[in-house]
Structure 1
Amino acid sequence: MRRWAAAAVTGAIAVALVGCGPAPWNAPGETPDAAPTTPRTTAPPPVPNDLSGGSTERQVTAGAVAASLNYWSDLSMDRWTATALKPVSLSLATTVTPDDGQRVYLQKATMIAVPGNAQGDLGPLAPTSDQSATNPGYLVLSPYSYSQTFYVEEVPAEATFVTLRFTYDFLVQTTPTSNEYAKQTGTDSLTVAIAPSGE
């Protein structure tokens, strides 16, 4: 009986030791299977387009001169492809502060088109400008205004937008009867999306 009892105790201890071993899922060097993950794909942000509504209005200040500008294009935005000749038109009129009766003239307007994409600028195109053929320039003091159309030529195929950088050189009479002028320069920029060519 003593031998049987001793064997029974030994078997019980062995069973207890087996039962106290580490769980298979916590064995050293092993980790539980991670839940499968679905890779996330983020859609590229929409390309900004200042002419998406057909036109846009801006206010530009150059010293004592305040210019009200309106930009638009007669070419629909879905046809602003990389290879198209893309027109952008503008009109402007100015006021001057203080208004003592002096006039404001536009001596020169310049546009530089810089195509780009999400990776950055792709290099500027050649600048285009309108230099006044009259001296001292185009009279742009309201109610007189200035209108012009510039053209954006072909841009690289990988371009998704083009930034249009404008510079306006104004001449302001120092007095209403003076033949001397103060030069004031204003700048502005637009971003226009390049439409897919559909090829």
Structure 2
Amino acid sequence: MPTSIRTRLAALTCAAGLTLTLSACGQAPWADLDAGASATPTAKATITAIENDLSAGSTRHQLTAGDAALTVDYSSSLNMGQWTAAANKPVSFSLSATLGTDDGQDVFLSKMTVVTAVTGPTGPLESPATFVDQSTLAPGYLMKAPYSYGQTYVMSAIDPAATSVTLSFTFELLIQSTPTAASFAKQTASDQITVAIVP
């Protein structure tokens, strides 16, 4: 065989061997795609927000009791970041009334009640005793604007597992029938606020 032909065959054989060597190295580019497709996604943790009516430090509610329109301002002197289960937790509120048909009659608060419900991760927990302010004055506390009724309820330590408390308020009013009358109409208004407890 002539030398030139042998040289060409040797070159072709080397080139073929190099091609086979290169194609046998590495991993197919689609191999990682198959592995990723079969991976099980990880579930993200769910965070449940707890309602807090005093998150801004105070809140105002408008209520109606018969012909009386009530304005209630709630606040706390304790920073919300310190509302722990063990702390003494004060809630202050101020209540005043105006009349739709105002001929000069007065409006009085005869009784105020606060019922506290404590809630934990799995449901209701033991709650503090009901707080009651029964007027010792007849017919009650004058609360027609510009006058108002003010009170502070201090909630002592509660269950360490508590996540929130709901305060339910009941306001019992006596509305004078006429400006000079000794007769009164009774009306009742209810309201509530929820405050988060810091772990």
State the TM-score, normalized to the length of structure 2.
Answer: 0.78
1:120 to 2:123 alignment: yes
Deviation digits for residues 6-26 of structure 1, max 9, x if unmatched? xxxxxxxxxxxxxxxxxxxxx
Question: What are the within-5 Å matches in structure 2 for residues 130-169 of structure 1?
Answer: 130-169=133-172
1:191 to 2:194 alignment: yes
- Shift, 1:173, TM fit: 0.8
- Shift, 1:81, TM fit: 0.6
- Shift, 1:42, TM fit: 2.9
State how far apart, in whole Å, the 2-side matches of 1:143 and 1:130 are: 21
The equivalent of 1:95 in structure 2 is: 98
The DSSP-based 3-state class of the residue aligned with 1:78 is helix
State how far apart, in whole Å, the 2-side matches of 1:77 and 1:103 are: 37
The equivalent of 2:4 in structure 1 is: none
Number of corresponding residues: 164
The DSSP-based 3-state class of the residue aligned with 2:109 is strand
- Shift, 1:90, TM fit: 0.4
1:55 to 55, 58, 75: 58
The equivalent of 2:184 in structure 1 is: 181
State the TM-score, normalized to the length of structure 1.
Answer: 0.78
The equivalent of 1:111 in structure 2 is: 114
- The one-letter code of the counterpart of 1:62 is A
The equivalent of 1:45 in structure 2 is: 48
State how far apart, in whole Å, the 1-side matches of 2:197 and 2:61 are: 22
- The one-letter code of the counterpart of 2:67 is A
Unpaired stretches in structure 1, ≥5 consecutive residues: 1-33
- The one-letter code of the counterpart of 2:170 is T
Q: Percent identity, aligned pairs only?
A: 46
- Shift, 1:123, TM fit: 4.2
8 Å CA contact 2:168–2:191 kept in 1: the answer is yes
- The one-letter code of the counterpart of 2:138 is N
8 Å CA contact 2:117–2:166 kept in 1: the answer is yes
- The one-letter code of the counterpart of 2:62 is Q
The DSSP-based 3-state class of the residue aligned with 2:198 is coil
The equivalent of 1:65 in structure 2 is: 68
- The one-letter code of the counterpart of 2:127 is P
The DSSP-based 3-state class of the residue aligned with 1:102 is coil
1:129 to 128, 132, 138: 132
Bigger radius of gyration, 1 or 2?
2
The DSSP-based 3-state class of the residue aligned with 2:180 is coil
The DSSP-based 3-state class of the residue aligned with 2:52 is coil
- Shift, 1:178, TM fit: 1.0
Deviation digits for residues 72-91 of structure 1, max 9, x if unmatched? 00011111111111100001
- Shift, 1:118, TM fit: 4.1
Name whichever of 151-160 and 115-124 sits farther off.
115-124
State how far apart, in whole Å, the 2-side matches of 1:66 and 1:187 are: 12
The equivalent of 1:171 in structure 2 is: 174
